[in-house]
Amino acid sequence: MAIPFGKLFAALLAVAVFAQAIYAQDSEPVDEAVSGAPALETPATPATPSLTESDLSAWLDGFMPYALKTGDIVGAVVTVVKDGQVLTNRGYGYADLETDAPVDAAETLFRPGSISKLFIWTAVMQLVEQGEINLDTDVNVYLDFNLPTNRGIVTMRHLMTHTPGFQEVVKDLFVENQTIEDADLREYLVTHIPQQIFDPGKIPSYSNYASSLAGYIVERVSGEPFATYIENHIFTPLGMTRSSFRQPLPGALAAGMSKGYKSASDGKAQSFEVVVPMPAGALSSTGDDMAKFMIAHLSGGGGLMQANTAVQMHTTLDNQFPPINGAALGFYREDLGGLNIIAHGGDTAWFHSNMVLLLDHGVGLYVSVNSGGGQAAGPLRRTLFTEFVDRYFPYEAATPAPLSTSMAHSTLAAGLYESSRASEGNLLALVRYASQLKVTVTEDGALKTTLIPGLSGSGEPLFEVAPWLWQSKSGRRVAARIEGGVVTALATDPALFTFTPVPWYRSSVWLTPVMIGAASVIILTFIAWPVRAVARWRLNVSFPYRGARKKAYRLAPTAALLVILYFAGWGIFLTWLSGSIFNLEASRNESMLMLLYVSSILPVISAFLSVSSARAVLGDRSTLFQKASSIALVASMVFVIWFSVVVGFFSFDTGF
């Protein structure tokens, strides 16, 4: 029976808020005048536009309306700051389609998603500056519950660089129509503790849980609830009067909250997203307020922290895969065209945002849209960033020549990989399986994959331009980690999560075709039962079997039916689960999930029934085809159990 892997993967990946990595792209090089040509015949080199309010506003007013219309997006806010001042703060489209309320960049609140984490890390650095938090101390010192760390202690530095080794957690990430109290953060952290699946400090794996844990440590150390701390120590000093982590929003702010939408063409306003791990993504804010936050970080801390603390936060790097961009303390690097850039992206189900700070130029760019428009939101914010840089800070895109080792090293790097942002032993193991990434080698020695465009950019080849570093023509980069002459991980730019080789026992290269074959055998075994019964009736032929052989005849289709019902149950559940992000709420899915876990007895029973049937068939004067079919059915049942274990169906872990 076919399982909707693709649909489930797409839905859960969106719900995980997951991915937050905004991939850098190099722009096309600026054309230059031909040297030595007669003056009258030489086209003038276009002057670099000045980053002024008039030029920027005119450019944005041309770019954004077209982007929203083309991308099927309802509304957006774009804010740019320079040298401590707001250069432009512009709203586009609508905040509410029902009332035709336009986006007001100063008044309309958007949900910047994981950009909320920058407020956690700013708070952490304030407390580091005060000597209240040590970045390299076991975080259990600051907690009032025990965080199991079976693979090594976890420090605040690990949390800030997404290297604590935690598996992914998406359950209860979003809930509907609830009020989040101060105590709910601790309850969430205690009841959703993720397993450590990597050694701390070794494998980047973006983690909402890790970020929320840091927020709770801020709460514990300061003695103030997290939302209150942010209000007292960040919002108030900066004059951010239209920002809040509280859910639902206070009345004065709720009236200015933009509606969230799937797309402009859909046109249906969605429910306010309540983020249970609140520090990781619950912020609501205006473009005007986000400008104040950017200015503070571009101005040596801007009264939030000392200048040397801000420098430490912005420049302390965790480069797991040099030379590609890694994580700073909270921000991640987005260096582009020689520019010193730190950034952070953010996604809820409806809102999609990005913030980039060009540190050496005192320039910050923030964009947030209130709908995904299918898959348009990600490309829109990436293109806005790269086009902005290319317009005001143009550069020559370097295209290094491929190394002579490209073929040899690419051959070693080729294989099947899986994302480190994954889980094992629960339902999310299905996502890990469904998202396996095949990396191949072209005839000219380049790496290529089309399954995840973020790795190579729409499948374009990547050539080795430095030892174990590959780059595409558009500037996408991939680096490999080598241990003992073997590629143990690949990472793209920026390295917020990695791709590690898939163990043989869960490799989709062999398991997927085997499961297709097994499903075919099982379905045909069941269908053959009524088909033969109808044929005997139409031909007036009596039932040919007696005794054990008669029993075997009935056992085989019964075993097949049980497995079909088993996967049908999972298929119905997964289709329902992917229908709404709010279905990830424990109260909505836990009883159904536990029932499905209990139903795991069905393929086990089916395996025993198929073995009993096969014994009878093999001990009887059956045809070679009948004997082969009975053996094939037994093998199919074994692979069904194997597959169910691999994708987390044989688990009683309702956390995922």
CATH code for position 428: 2.40.128
**Residue 634 belongs to some domain of the structure:** yes
Closest CA to 3 of 388, 493, 464, 519: 519
pLDDT at position 422 is 87
**Residue 2 belongs to some domain of the structure:** no
pLDDT at position 104 is 96
Cβ(381)–Cβ(345) under 8 Å? yes
DSSP tag of 284: E
Range of the structural domain that residue 100 is part of: 17-28+49-392
Angle (CA) 337-342-347 rounded to 5° is 115
Q: Per-residue pLDDT for 32 more than 70?
A: no
Q: Which residue has the tokens 């249970």?
A: 276
pLDDT at position 543 is 62
Confidence of residue 34 (pLDDT cuts 50, 70, 90): very low
**H helix runs in 414-546, sequence order:** 429-434, 453-456, 508-539
> Long-range CB contacts (< 8 A, 24+ apart) of 538-544?
none
Q: Which residue has the tokens 């040297």?
A: 35
Cβ neighbours, 10 Å, residue 294: 25
CB hemisphere CA count around 461 (13 angstroms) = 15
Q: Per-residue pLDDT for 28 more than 60?
A: no
Q: Per-residue pLDDT for 284 more than 80?
A: yes
pLDDT at position 384 is 95
Percent of the chain's residues with pLDDT above 70: 89
94 and 202 part of one domain: yes
Confidence of residue 449 (pLDDT cuts 50, 70, 90): confident
Alpha-carbon distances of 63 from 68, 75, 76, rounded to whole Å: 9, 13, 12
39 Cβ contact partners less than 8 Å away, ≥ 6 residues apart: none
pLDDT at position 405 is 93
Q: Per-residue pLDDT for 178 more than 80?
A: yes
**Residue 158 belongs to some domain of the structure:** yes
pLDDT at position 547 is 66
**Residue 399 belongs to some domain of the structure:** no
For residues 237 and 299, what is the distance between their CA atoms, to the nearest angstrom?
Answer: 14
615 and 585 part of one domain: yes
Q: Per-residue pLDDT for 40 more than 50?
A: no
355 and 228 part of one domain: yes
Instruction: For 589-627, write each residue's pLDDT tens digit.
Output: 889 999 999 999 999 999 999 998 888 878 777 788 888
574 and 621 part of one domain: yes
pLDDT at position 25 is 28
Mean pLDDT: which of 25-34, 119-128, 436-445 is highest?
119-128
CA Rg, the chain, in Å?
28
Task: Domain count for the chain, please give it.
Answer: 3
Q: Which residue has the tokens 């550069």?
A: 395
For residues 437 and 419, what is the distance between their CA atoms, to the nearest angstrom?
Answer: 8
548 and 601 part of one domain: yes
Q: What is the pLDDT averaged over residues 304-327?
A: 91
Instruction: For 543-556, write each residue's pLDDT tens digit.
Output: 666 666 677 778 88
Sheet containing strand 486-492, edge to edge, reads: 447-448, 437-441, 415-419, 499-501, 486-492, 477-483, 469-471, 463-466
For residues 91 and 100, what is the distance between their CA atoms, to the nearest angstrom?
Answer: 14
520 and 498 part of one domain: no
Mean pLDDT: which of 29-38, 252-261, 369-378 is highest?
252-261
For residues 65 and 67, what is the distance between their CA atoms, to the nearest angstrom?
Answer: 5
**Residue 82 belongs to some domain of the structure:** yes
For residues 230 and 219, what is the distance between their CA atoms, to the nearest angstrom?
Answer: 10
Closest CA to 6 of 571, 501, 636: 571
454 and 363 part of one domain: no
Of 370, 392, 414, the one marking the end of a domain is 392
Backbone phi, psi, residue 175, to 5°: -130, 165
Mean pLDDT: which of 203-217, 381-395, 474-488 is highest?
203-217
**Residue 38 belongs to some domain of the structure:** no
pLDDT at position 46 is 61
Cβ(242)–Cβ(296) under 8 Å? no
pLDDT at position 397 is 65
638 and 590 part of one domain: yes
568 and 530 part of one domain: yes
Instruction: For 50-104, write each residue's pLDDT tens digit.
Output: 999 999 999 999 999 999 999 999 999 999 999 999 999 999 999 999 999 999 9
Share the mean pLDDT of the chain.
87
CATH code for position 85: 3.40.710.10
Q: Per-residue pLDDT for 39 more than 60?
A: no
Q: Per-residue pLDDT for 474 more than 90?
A: no
**Residue 430 belongs to some domain of the structure:** yes
Percent of the chain's residues with pLDDT above 90: 66
Instruction: For 144-160, write each residue's pLDDT tens digit.
Output: 999 999 999 999 999 99
Q: What is the pLDDT averaged over residues 274-296?
A: 96
Range with lowest mean pLDDT among 151-165, 175-189, 266-280, 446-460: 446-460
For residues 199 and 150, what is the distance between their CA atoms, to the nearest angstrom?
Answer: 9
49 preceded by cis ω (within 30°)?
Answer: no
172 and 88 part of one domain: yes
Of 363, 392, 421, the one marking the end of a domain is 392
For residues 451 and 492, what is the distance between their CA atoms, to the nearest angstrom?
Answer: 14
Q: Which residue has the tokens 């600026």?
A: 30
pLDDT at position 568 is 95
For residues 526 and 562, what is the distance between their CA atoms, to the nearest angstrom?
Answer: 10
Closest CA to 433 of 642, 239, 156: 642
H/E run at residue 233:
none
**Residue 8 belongs to some domain of the structure:** no
573 and 438 part of one domain: no
Backbone phi, psi, residue 305, to 5°: -155, 165
487 and 585 part of one domain: no
Of 464, 485, 505, the one marking the end of a domain is 505
Closest CA to 432 of 416, 443, 448: 416
Dihedral over alpha carbons 181, 183, 184, 188 (to 10 degrees): 170
Confidence of residue 492 (pLDDT cuts 50, 70, 90): confident
Cβ neighbours, 10 Å, residue 206: 25
